[in-house]
Amino acid sequence: MKLPRTPSFRLDGKRALVTGASSGIGLGCAVALAEAGAHVTCLARREGPLTEAVEAMRAEGWQAEARAGDVGDLEALDALFETPFDVVVNAAGMARHAPALDTTPEDFDAVLQVNLRAAYFLSQRAARALKAAGKGGSIVHVSSQMGHVGGIDRAVYCASKHAVEGMVKAMAIEWGPLGIRINTLCPTFVRTPLTEATFADPAKRAWLEEKIKLGRVGQVEDVMGAVLYLASEASALVTGSAQMVDGGWTAE
């Protein structure tokens, strides 16, 4: 009897790009891919923290390089994708939370510029390069549980993430025949330096604790296994889907 074998989670010999890789979820994603054997190009705007992160990864014996830049710079993306990446993880994002009645056009445009426009054209460039090389690959966008529900003071953020979810489904249909998979990773609130203000607000903290059925907020480590799954052959038949890492928030 020939038994089936679990597909590999390893990424040896693969080239990966992670945006927003200088800290938080993006750094966690970069570490997960590098730990699995990929050569990871880490892209972020903050050159100092990015360099520090890459140096720490190299000190572990992993393959990583730093690229300081803006994910919304299309000319820079064209240069970056002269050689295709087998895996692209987009963890760059922006939030400017406020009541919907107080949203300014400037805040709306800034959030959509990063969360939707940059995500769209990054996906396009990644898929074009793979198609030109005759290769398949995996594209993963770090979306949010807020791409599936609403939230207090988050109308603009929710709009951007709901849009990403629809974008990914349409791209998955177009690019499936090319062997290019595209999915989203949807965390709940994850403890990073950028989210500490939310956790420090008693009313918002109570709202979080009520909604997260597992009774705790996320840690960066909680998303690392999920992104490795979506990047690797372990998810070879998964595309156009949303991987929820939300502690049960969206279960109701």
Residues 109-155: pLDDT tens digits?
999 999 999 999 999 999 999 999 999 999 999 999 999 999 989 99
pTM of the model: 0.96
List the domains of the chain with CATH numbers.
15-190+221-237 (3.40.50.720)
Q: Which of 81, 85, 157, 189 is catalytic?
A: 157
pLDDT confidence of 163, banded at 50, 70, 90?
very high
Q: Span 167-190, mean pLDDT? A: 98
Confidence of residue 91 (pLDDT cuts 50, 70, 90): very high
How far, in Å, CA of 146 to CA of 115, rounded? 12
Is 157 among the residues known to form the active site? yes
Q: What is the DSSP string of 194-223?
A: GGHHHHHSHHHHHHHHHH-TTSS-B-THHH
pLDDT on residue 146? 97
Predicted confidence (pLDDT) per residue in 189-220, tens digit: 998 877 887 888 888 888 888 899 998 889 99
Question: H or E stretch including 33?
Answer: helix 24-35
